[in-house]
């Protein structure tokens, strides 16, 4: 009898413990997917530009984010601007640069592997990586440009398709013909973001008169950059 009484409480303890275990998630239940968007607010002496970084180019996205977090771009110049083409910045040598000094050779000691994507074209407002003439077309670790560009006609797009081995979609052709950009750079320089507000600032910067090396006669500074992260559930 004593053995039986001892056995029953033990069974009750085991049963109670089993009932307290968390129920397993049904195999049919899945965690909701989260879409993360990375943006950078770039304040300049001529106005604010907000850039969205593409998740399709993670190496360039993460490198740009790292530089923003380090305040790398603060007080650097847009050291090269060409109307109807682009505005370029990110040269560390441009900080406190003397008037008339040649700029554009500064770097951070590394490059970023090219991340070409036929879906990401050089439409007006995109953020892309500058580079030197290396065979791998690897990007500068810090220098970037924002496209201003101009409209391109259908015949020119046909020629560029053949020359660069590309096939533009109907939507991409419409963008180049109505909004503009620099299609001759496609598949040669990595596009990794786009301007979502402040394109008028890009236009203002692009027309500032410059010297023979396209350095603006009036210094245009990047005052600060700030990372903005948003998340949303994907249905």
pLDDT in tens, 55-73: 999 999 999 999 999 999 9
Per DSSP, the residues of 1-26 read: -HHHHHHHHHHHHHHHHHHHSPPPPP
Domain-located, residue 182: yes
Label residues 11-50 b or e (16+ Cβ within 10 Å = b): eeeeeeeeeeeeeeeeeeeeeeeeeeebbbbbbbebeebb
Average pLDDT rounded to a whole number, residues 3-14: 40
Average pLDDT of the chain is 90
Residue 194 in this model has a pLDDT that exceeds 70? yes
What CATH number should be reported for the domain holding residue 90? Answer: 2.40.100.10
Question: Which contiguous run of DSSP H or E holds residue 155?
Answer: helix 154-164
Give residue 190's domain range. 32-234
- Per the domain annotation, does 208 fall within a domain? yes
Confidence of residue 18 (pLDDT cuts 50, 70, 90): very low
Q: What are the backbone angles phi and psi of residue 59, rounded to the nearest 5°?
A: -65, -45
Q: Is residue 2 part of a domain?
A: no
- Using 50, 70 and 90 to split pLDDT, how confident is the model at 54? very high
Q: How many CB atoms lie within 10 A of CB 8?
A: 9
Q: Is 9 part of any domain?
A: no
User: Could you tell me the pLDDT band of residue 233, with boundaries at 50, 70 and 90?
Assistant: confident
HSE on the CB side for 23, CA within 13 Å? Answer: 4
Count structural domains, the chain: 1
What confidence tier does 26 reach under pLDDT thresholds 50, 70, 90?
low
Q: Residues 44-54: what's their mean pLDDT? A: 98
Residue 8 lies in a domain: no
Q: Is residue 213 assigned to a domain?
A: yes
> Is residue 10 domain-resident?
no
Integer CA distances (angstroms), 95 to 177, 202, 205, in order: 37, 20, 18
pLDDT digits (tens, 9 = 90+) for 93-145: 999 999 989 999 999 999 999 999 999 999 999 999 999 999 999 999 999 99
- Pairing between β-strand 126-129 and β-strand 86-89 as defined by DSSP bridges: unpaired
Give the pair of three-digit tokens for residue 209: 């008169």
- pLDDT of 185 > 70? The answer is yes
Report the alpha-carbon distance of residue 219 to residue 79 in Å, rounded: 8
What whole-number distance in Å separates Cα of residue 13 and Cα of residue 106? 71
In this model, does residue 181 exceed pLDDT 60? yes
Per-residue pLDDT at 235: 75
The span from the CA of 102 to the CA of 80, in Å, is 10
Examine residue 40 and state whether it is found in any structural domain, yes or no.
Answer: yes
**Residue 66: in which H helix or E strand, if any?**
helix 58-69
């Amino acid at each position: 009898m004593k053995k039986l009484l001892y056995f029953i409480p033990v069974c009750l303890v085991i049963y109670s413990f089993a009932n307290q275990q968390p129920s397993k998630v049904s195999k049919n239940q899945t965690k909701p997917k989260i879409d993360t968007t990375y943006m950078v607010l770039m304040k300049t002496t001529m106005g604010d530009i907000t850039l969205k970084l593409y998740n399709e180019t993670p190496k360039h996205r993460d490198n740009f984010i790292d530089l923003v977090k380090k305040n790398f771009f603060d007080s650097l110049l847009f050291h090269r601007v060409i109307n109807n083409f682009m505005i370029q910045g990110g040269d560390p040598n441009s900080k406190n640069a003397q008037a008339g000094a040649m700029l554009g050779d500064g770097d951070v000691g590394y490059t970023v592997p090219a991340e070409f994507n036929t879906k990401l074209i050089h439409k007006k407002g995109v953020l892309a990586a500058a580079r030197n003439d290396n065979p791998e077309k690897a990007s500068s670790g810090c220098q970037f440009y924002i496209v201003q560009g101009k409209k391109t006609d259908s015949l020119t797009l046909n020629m560029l398709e053949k020359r660069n081995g590309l096939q533009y979609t109907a939507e991409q052709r419409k963008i180049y013909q109505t909004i503009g950009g620099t299609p001759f750079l496609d598949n040669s320089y990595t596009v990794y973001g786009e301007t979502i507000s402040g394109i008028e600032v890009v236009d203002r910067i692009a027309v500032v008169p410059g010297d023979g090396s396209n350095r603006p006669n009036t210094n245009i500074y990047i005052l600060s950059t700030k990372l903005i992260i948003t998340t949303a559930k994907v249905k």
